């Protein structure tokens, strides 16, 4: 990033408008029985930034992720990516439109090799259709994809594992693979659900570098995180959720001093009954 903070001058209040939002959500609601898991009035995500989504356990961060990516259906509300509405769009279509997510528990395709994990993510391979698979003619695409996969694997330090089963990777390597695999789709928005969970501190640093690297290569990153230090270090913008609502937004240093946020985190120990 060049000099000025990209989010300078934006008021630190929930639902604030951003100059160039890539993702906008309005009145998004989702209840499980009597529990309102997500109730977001208005949320905009600024393009080419790292936005982190924080909040105590049960705040609805993952549910919001599921809603935005089509893995769950809201009871109410609408949201759009680059102005295109995503209501009623299937999860796989959302991914094809350029918003790719990862999961809290790593989802490596265990009995596929690391390389095949990468290749399966590539878009527009005509060999993935039944007719294309039978008639052939997909080998050129495959080679181009392999070259790109190799570049990405190298960037994430996994090139020596390319021919191993993904199931034989360590936990941290799987996180890296999941991130590299998401990039195979050339997404515009990358949504990482707790990328640091269960990763040893040494690898955390390398993951952080990769995340800021994503932003610097022109992607928008949204990630869920618990660790405030991590959030402070790499976020351009922080969105705080509690009990399904966005209770605060702002630059990391603003959030650190926000009274509501501190209360929400401390309140976690008292008001946990609902979750």
Partner 1 sequence: MDWGSVFIDGILATIGPVTAAYAISAIGLNLQFGYAGLLNFGHVAFMLVGAYGMAITVELGGPLWLGIIVGILIAAFLGFLLGLPTLRLRADYLAITTIAAAEAIRLVVRSSWAQPLTNGVFGIQGFADSFFDLNPFPPAELYGIGSLIVTGRKLWVMIVGWTIAVLLTLLIRRLINSPWGRVLKAIREDEDATTSLGKNVFAYKLQALMIGGAIGGIAGMLLAIEQQNVTPDAYLPQVTFILYVIVILGGAGTILGPIVGAVVFQFLFFTVDALMVNAQGSIGWVGDLLTPAAAGQVKLVLVGVGMMVLMIFRPQGILGSREEALIDER
By CB under 8 A, which span of 39-47, 155-163, 182-190, 220-228 interacts with partner 1?
Answer: 182-190
DSSP one-letter string for the chain: --SS-TTTT---STT---SSEEEEEEEEEEEETTEEEEEEEEEEEETTSEEEEE-STTSSHHHHHHHHTTSS--SEEEEEETTEE-TT--HHHHHHTTEEE--SS----TTSBHHHHHHHH-S--GGGSHHHHHH---HHHHHHHHHHHHHHHHHTT-GGGTTSBGGGS-HHHHHHHHHHHHHTT--SEEEEESTTTT--HHHHHHHHHHHHHHHHTT-EEEEE---HHHHHHH-SEEEEEETTEEEEEE-HHHHHT-HHHHHHHHHTTTSGGG-
Residues 157-176 that bind partner 1 (CB under 8 A): 165, 167-168
Q: What's the rounded Cα separation, in Å, for the pair 92 and 70? A: 8
Q: Does 132 bind partner 1 (CB under 8 A)?
A: yes
Q: Which is nearer to partner 1, 46 or 106 (CB)?
A: 106
By CB under 8 A, which span of 81-89, 179-187, 203-211, 237-245 interacts with partner 1?
Answer: 179-187
Question: What is the smallest separation between the CB atom of 187 and partner 1, expressed in angstroms?
Answer: 9
Question: What is the smallest separation between the CB atom of 137 and partner 1, expressed in angstroms?
Answer: 10
Q: Which is nearer to partner 1, 44 or 193 (CB)?
A: 193
In this chain, which of 35, 87, 133, 266 binds partner 1, going by CB under 8 A? 133
Q: Which is nearer to partner 1, 146 or 268 (CB)?
A: 146
Q: Which is nearer to partner 1, 46 or 102 (CB)?
A: 102
Question: What is the smallest separation between the CB atom of 14 and partner 1, expressed in angstroms?
Answer: 28
**Binding track, positions 91-130, relative to partner 1; x by CB under 8 A:** xxx-xx---xxxx-xxxxxxxx---xx-xxx-x-x-xxxx
Q: Does 269 bind partner 1 (CB under 8 A)?
A: no
Residue 256's CB is within 10 A of a number of other CB atoms, namely: 14
In this chain, which of 90, 262, 266, 274 binds partner 1, going by CB under 8 A? 90
Q: Binders of partner 1: how many residues, by CB under 8 A?
A: 44
Q: What's the rounded Cα separation, in Å, for the pair 64 and 53? A: 10
Q: Which is nearer to partner 1, 1 or 133 (CB)?
A: 133
Q: Does 197 bind partner 1 (CB under 8 A)?
A: no
Q: What's the rounded Cα separation, in Å, for the pair 67 and 37? A: 11
Contacts to partner 1 by CB under 8 A: 69, 71, 90-93, 95-96, 100-103, 105-112, 116-117, 119-121, 123, 125, 127-130, 132-134, 136, 138, 142, 165, 167-168, 181-182, 184-185
């Amino acid at each position: 990033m060049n000099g000025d903070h990209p989010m300078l001058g934006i008021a630190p209040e929930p639902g604030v408008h951003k100059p160039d939002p890539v993702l906008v959500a309005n009145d998004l609601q989702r209840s499980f029985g009597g529990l309102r898991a997500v109730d977001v009035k208005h949320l905009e995500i600024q393009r080419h930034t790292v936005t982190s989504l924080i909040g105590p356990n049960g705040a609805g961060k993952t549910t919001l992720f599921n809603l935005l990516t089509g893995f769950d259906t809201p009871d109410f509300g609408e949201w759009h990516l680059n102005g295109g509405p995503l209501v009623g769009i299937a999860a796989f279509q959302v991914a094809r439109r350029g918003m790719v997510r990862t999961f809290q528990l790593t989802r490596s395709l265990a009995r596929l090799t690391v390389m095949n994990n990468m290749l399966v993510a590539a878009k527009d391979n005509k060999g993935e259709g039944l007719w294309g698979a039978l008639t052939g003619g997909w080998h050129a695409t495959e080679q181009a994809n392999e070259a790109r996969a190799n570049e990405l694997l190298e960037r994430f330090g996994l090139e020596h594992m390319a021919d191993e089963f993904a199931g034989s990777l360590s936990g941290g390597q799987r996180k890296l693979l999941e991130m590299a695999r998401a990039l195979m789709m050339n997404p515009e928005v990358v949504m990482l659900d707790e990328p640091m969970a269960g990763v040893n501190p040494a690898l955390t640093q390398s993951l952080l570098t990769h995340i800021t690297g994503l932003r610097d290569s022109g992607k928008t990153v949204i990630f869920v995180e618990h660790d405030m230090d991590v959030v402070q270090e790499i976020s351009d913008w922080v969105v705080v959720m509690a009990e399904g609502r966005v209770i605060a937004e702002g630059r990391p240093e603003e959030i650190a001093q926000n009274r509501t946020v501190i209360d929400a985190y401390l309140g976690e120990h008292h008001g946990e009954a609902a979750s």
